[in-house]
Chains A and B, each alone.
Chain A
Amino acid sequence: MNLAEILDMGKYAFYVWGSYGVVALFMLIEVVLLITKKRSLVKSITRLARLNRE
């Protein structure tokens, strides 16, 4: 069985891939948002600390 056969959902393609696509997308977005938030927090805290030292 090749990949194309596995991924062929026939007349259900819209429903199956619509489900899996949105689940994958939203889970990825959640992780990306959390990482972005972490980076901006670290940035603003270190900048503040540097300003306080000067």
Chain B
Amino acid sequence: MNIFSKAFWLQLSSPKTFYPVAGKMIPWFMGTAIVSILVGLYYGFVVAPEDYQQGDSYRIMFIHVPAAWMAMWIYIIMCAYAAIGLIWRTRLSNMMAGALAPTGALFTFLALWTGALWGKPTWGAYWVWDARLTSFLILLFLYFGFISLRAAIDDPQRASRASALLALVGVINVPIIYFSVKWWNTLHQGASITLDKAPTMATTMFTAMMIMTVAFFAYTFAVAFMRVRNEILENEKNSAWVGEMLGREK
């Protein structure tokens, strides 16, 4: 198995080969997610102290920030898959883009939800039309647009191409979200974690947040692989290999 050869990637990108490979990876990703959620919760609720200004309400951060990061990361990864599918017409990358979208929409919603519940005790409002919140709401609509466009077009190739274009145009929103707190005066605070500076929060809080991020990342790949396997099964239900595989499992 030479992972640098073109043949290896060509073979892996066939749904038939990918189906069992993804199946073997799902328990590892799900296991990593469960273990790190437990460790992250331990750090977030037992190790990390109460915040001297926000009391316990800041503990929402341990899921709010990872969910928001994932919402943006999934969008970028989804776009990368969609772009590969657009350029090389690889079926599996289009399927992966489609499989990531619902989870991306879910994390976008959860970031907005937890943000609202954190905003109320901290800012006094569940929602404000601030640049960060508004651009994040647009991200949710981009996910919805991507999902519905794929569902609305019957021909899978045309559906993939149209939705890939939509996703790629919408990717401009990701840097807008990220820099919104710098470019505009926002109620939402600026980034506490940046590449060029040390995090501006206690180490225990930072650790809890990072572990939860690992958990959400692993969860994302576990459910995306589950969804892509379902899609492969549905598309290839009449093919010989699916019949053989299910015959063996029985």
Give the B-binding residues of A (Cβ under 8 A). 1, 6-7, 9-12, 14-16, 18-20, 22-23, 26-27, 30-31, 34-35, 37-38, 41-42, 44-46, 48-49
B45 surroundings in chain A (CB, below 8 A) = 6-7
The 10 closest A-B pairs by CB, nearest first: A12-B57, A19-B114, A34-B226, A9-B56, A15-B117, A19-B60, A12-B56, A19-B117, A45-B237, A41-B233
The listed residue (B223, B229, B234, B246) touching A46 by CB distance below 8 A is B246
What's the interface size class on B, roughly? Answer: 35 or more
Q: Is the CB of B106 within 8 A of A1?
A: no
- 28 A-B pairs with CB atoms under 8 Å apart are A1-B46, A6-B45, A6-B46, A9-B57, A10-B55, A11-B55, A12-B57, A12-B121, A18-B117, A19-B64, A19-B114, A22-B110, A22-B114, A23-B110, A23-B113, A26-B106, A26-B109, A30-B106, A31-B223, A34-B223, A34-B226, A34-B230, A37-B230, A38-B230, A38-B233, A41-B234, A49-B246, A49-B247
Given A12-B56, A16-B56, A34-B223, A23-B63 contact (CB < 8 Å): yes
Main secondary structure of the interface of B (DSSP, over half): helix
B188 beta carbon closer than 8 Å to chain A: no
B76-121 residues at the A interface, CB under 8 angstroms: 102-103, 106, 109-110, 113-114, 117-118, 120-121
B9-52 residues at the A interface, CB under 8 angstroms: 45-46
Which of B59, B67, B249 has most A Cβ within 10 Å? B59
